[in-house]
Amino acid sequence: MEQVNGIELKVLRIRARLPQYRVAQAIGISPQLLCHVENGRKAAAPELAAAIRQAIRQLAPQVDHEAGDDHAA
């Protein structure tokens, strides 16, 4: 099973300028769980990580979601 890096999810969310509660609400989890995942206190199943990424894409589609890429295509 692939290890999910919570900090990468956090970077994507912050770059999209989305608050934790909004992403959490979109996927039906508590903001506290999202916080724990982003800060590495709880492991996220690959399905949860995929849901978080998808929610970020849907809530902020204009943002370039590739972490570390500062140039929009």
Kindly give the interhelix angle for 46-59 and 6-15, rounded to the nearest 10 degrees: 10
> What pLDDT score does 4 carry?
76
- pTM beyond 0.85: no
Report the chain (73 residues): mean pLDDT per 10 consecutive residues. 81 96 97 97 94 95 54 39
C-alpha 30/C-alpha 50 separation (Å) is 16
C-alpha 11/C-alpha 63 separation (Å) is 12
> What pLDDT score does 64 carry?
57
Question: For the chain, which residues make up each domain, given as ranges?
Answer: 6-59
- Residues 9 and 49 sit within 8 Å (Cβ to Cβ): yes
Q: Does domain 6-59 correspond to CATH entry 3.30.70.20? A: no
Other C-beta atoms lying within 10 Å of the C-beta of residue 19: 12
